[in-house]
Amino acid sequence: MAEKKSDRTRASILAAARERFGADGYERATIRAIAADAAIDPAMVMRYYGSKEKLFAAAAEFDVRLPDLRGVPREQTGEVLVRHLVERWEEDDTLRVLLRTAVTNESAAERMRQVFIGQLTPAFERAAMDEPAVRAGLIATQALGFALCRYILEFEPIVGLSTDEAVAWLGPTITRYLTAPLPSQV
């Protein structure tokens, strides 16, 4: 009896929650709508997850799973990183949930910071780069901007790009943010 009945409804609630949060954002995704999608009573959502805030926390739980960049030659790091991020983004809508909600929900924004600054910066620090935080931030601007335009705002020219095209365009940008010397201050 590894699989109890409750586990399945628990999971279906979570799936419905991810869908709704990802499509509508935190405020407009109502408990009632999520419950309806999961074909379940709204009270069940409360019983299983305690509150909307906690349900959201469960739905937005995720990990970037950065690839190991140590063996990759300098000039290809951007490509590898972009490809990883894009593929990660396509396969899992948790990131979309996070992006859509981070804009109005402070705790989601904090998690976004943790992921993109908190996880990238130390990785670059280990590689003995100067200003690792700035480089991590710049990479975040391009990566998140791409995700925003592709998945949230749905700009047609960006939606139409294949993974390979996206990698070819964005890769060199990321590589430059990673390797270029600091601009001389003015």
The residues binding DNA (CB under 7 A) are: 1, 4-6, 9, 29-33, 40-47, 51-53
Q: Minimal distance in Å, beta carbon 43 to its own copies?
A: 24
Question: How many whole angstroms separate alpha carbon 142 and alpha carbon 171?
Answer: 10
Pull the structure tokens for residue 75. Answer: 């000039």
Which residues have a Cβ under 8 Å from the Cβ of 168 and sit 6 or more positions away? Answer: 79
Question: Among the candidate windows 41-49, 52-60, 80-88, 109-117, which touches its own copies by CB under 8 A?
Answer: 109-117
Pull the structure tokens for residue 85. Answer: 């991020």
Size of site (CB under 8 A) for its own copies: 53
Q: Are 72 and 81 in contact (CB under 8 A)?
A: no
Between residues 12 and 142, which has the closer beta carbon with respect to its own copies?
142
Task: Out of 36, 46, 123, 140, name the contact with its own copies by CB under 8 A.
Answer: 140
Measured from the Cβ of residue 168, the count of other Cβ atoms closer than 10 Å reads: 13
Q: Which does 118 bind (CB under 5 to 8 A by kind): DNA, its own copies, none?
A: none
Q: Is 128 one of the binding residues for its own copies (CB under 8 A)?
A: no
Q: Minimal distance in Å, beta carbon 27 to DNA?
A: 8
Q: Minimal distance in Å, beta carbon 59 to its own copies?
A: 16
Question: How many whole angstroms separate alpha carbon 81 and alpha carbon 143?
Answer: 10
Angular region, 38: left φ>0, alpha ψ -120 to 50, beta rest: alpha
Q: Minimal distance in Å, beta carbon 51 to DNA?
A: 3
Max CA-CA distance within the chain?
A: 68
Look at the block and give the residue holding tokens 């001389």: 184
For helices 77-91 and 163-179, the axis angle rounded to 10 degrees is 130
Between residues 6 and 141, which has the closer beta carbon with respect to DNA?
6
Q: Is 69 one of the binding residues for its own copies (CB under 8 A)?
A: no
**Contacting residues toward its own copies, per CB under 8 A:** 24-25, 27-28, 99-100, 102-104, 109, 112-113, 116-117, 131, 133-134, 136-138, 140-146, 148-150, 152-158, 160-162, 164-165, 168-170, 172-173, 176-177, 183-186
